[in-house]
Amino acid sequence: MYICRQLLFIKIIPVETVMDSTTNHDNMELIIKNEGDTITGVLSGRLDTAASTQFATDMQPLVDNAGKHIVLDCNKLEFISSSGLRLFLTLRKAATAKGGDITITGMNADIRQVFTITGFFPLFKFV
């Protein structure tokens, strides 16, 4: 059996220029992979208030495809502010409206705690 995975597009968007090249702290990046009926967003860096404006634009392909299975790979997500949480809520509402679902993978304990405190935890499927 031969499975063909078509990579429709890959988008790499640096949100802010990195002042200190040895650390990646101020850099928020979203890579979107569209594979069949699953669309994956790989988040890395710090989703703070400053980065969230650009992230809102960058995540538009995910919102547009919210009827599919969305996977948010948060292995490299370091921090999330309330402005960042708002964008997760935006995506969640789009998924509800279009009949899709969202799975979050690899989220670190600190950010998971933020999801727990704010009551966002039950809104997503965590792996």
Q: Is 117 in the site for other proteins (CB under 8 A)?
A: yes
Looking at the DSSP assignment, which residues form a beta bridge with residue 34?
39
Of 42 and 94, CB closest to other proteins: 94
Q: Is 25 in the site for other proteins (CB under 8 A)?
A: yes
Q: Is 119 in the site for other proteins (CB under 8 A)?
A: yes
Of 13 and 63, CB closest to other proteins: 63
In whole angstroms, how large is the CA radius of gyration of the chain?
14
Q: How many CA atoms lie within 13 A of 18 on its CB side?
A: 13
Q: Is 86 in the site for other proteins (CB under 8 A)?
A: yes
Q: State the minimum distance, in angstroms, from the CB of residue 68 to other proteins.
A: 20
Q: How many CA atoms lie within 13 A of 71 on its CB side?
A: 14
Work out which of 8, 10, 12, 49 binds other proteins, going by CB under 8 A.
49
Work out which of 10, 18, 89, 97 binds other proteins, going by CB under 8 A.
89
Q: Read out DSSP for 13-48?
A: EE-S--SSTT--TT--EEEEEEETTEEEEEEEEEE-
Distance in angstroms (rounded) separating the CA atoms of residues 71 and 62: 10
Instruction: Count CB neighbours of 91 within 10 A.
Output: 21
Of 6 and 122, CB closest to other proteins: 122
Size of site (CB under 8 A) for other proteins: 24
User: Which residues form the interface with other proteins (CB under 8 A)?
Assistant: 23, 25, 46, 48-49, 52, 79, 81-83, 85-87, 89-90, 93, 116-123
